[in-house]
């Protein structure tokens, strides 16, 4: 497969690079944004089914985010969605102390941007996820502030590890390119969630049949 790398910038935040990749027919116009986080774990892709959009996540959490599961919805109007449909499986491990759901609100039901925090000394793990939401429309206006937030507790590691490497904590934001909304995620995971980024596609409403 051939891929074209597209550099995206924004006055509000520097967006990650995006790749337009030749995918199956349901996702030919997808833009896969570069995952934010560490380099450990194995690559994963979790795209919502055709004509369904990302509205949030189910998270398994402890000190950091152990696992993530996309939540998908059908859009019948720019702010009218159907029932929540969890992705068929989670990405990450089974540890952690509890489950948390982070979701867009009903007046702006589709994810269009995220802010991801990650930290660690030898291995960087995702610790924060903030959702920026909008309408299921090509001309939606992205909210300035996050609609839903998960912030894990700060790492209790020393400022400088035994190796002399500083404890990394970064918080980076990425938005879908203009005209696109989130349709899934990709990233890296193992026993924990190492990195995550958005998969973006065009908004296509589903007609309600009688």
Contacts with 101 (C-beta within 8 Å, 6 or more apart), sequence order: 56, 57, 58, 59, 71
Q: Residue 6: is its pLDDT beyond 90?
A: no
The conformation of residue 24, written as its DSSP 8-state character, comes to -
pLDDT per position as a tens digit, 120-168: 888 899 999 999 999 998 887 777 899 999 999 887 655 544 444 456 6
CATH 3.90.1150.10 is the classification of domain 3-158+167-202? no
Is residue 13's pLDDT more than 50?
Answer: no
Coil, strand, or helix at residue 26?
helix
59-70 tens-digit pLDDT: 999 989 999 999
How far apart are alpha carbons 71 and 85 in whole angstroms? 6
Spans of all domains in the chain: 3-158+167-202
């Amino acid at each position: 497969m051939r891929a074209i790398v597209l550099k995206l910038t924004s006055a509000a935040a520097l967006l990650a690079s995006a790749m337009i990749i030749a995918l199956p027919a349901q996702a030919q116009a997808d833009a896969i944004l570069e995952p934010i986080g560490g380099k450990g774990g194995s690559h994963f892709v979790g795209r919502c089914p055709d004509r369904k959009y990302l509205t949030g996540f189910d998270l398994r959490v402890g000190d950091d985010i152990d696992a993530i599961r996309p939540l998908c919805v059908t859009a019948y109007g720019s702010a009218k969605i159907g029932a929540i449909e969890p992705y068929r499986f989670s990405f990450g491990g089974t540890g952690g102390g509890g489950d948390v759901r982070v979701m867009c609100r009903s007046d702006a039901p589709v994810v269009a941007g995220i802010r991801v925090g990650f930290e660690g000394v030898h291995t960087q793990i995702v610790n924060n996820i903030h959702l920026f939401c909008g309408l299921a429309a090509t001309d939606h206006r992205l909210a300035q502030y996050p609609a839903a937030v998960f912030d894990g507790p700060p790492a209790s590691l020393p400022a400088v590890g035994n190796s002399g490497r500083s404890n990394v904590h970064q918080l980076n934001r990425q938005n879908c390119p203009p005209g696109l909304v989130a349709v899934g995620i990709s990233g890296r995971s193992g026993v924990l969630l190492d990195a995550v980024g958005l998969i973006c596609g065009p908004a296509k409403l589903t007609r309600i049949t009688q």
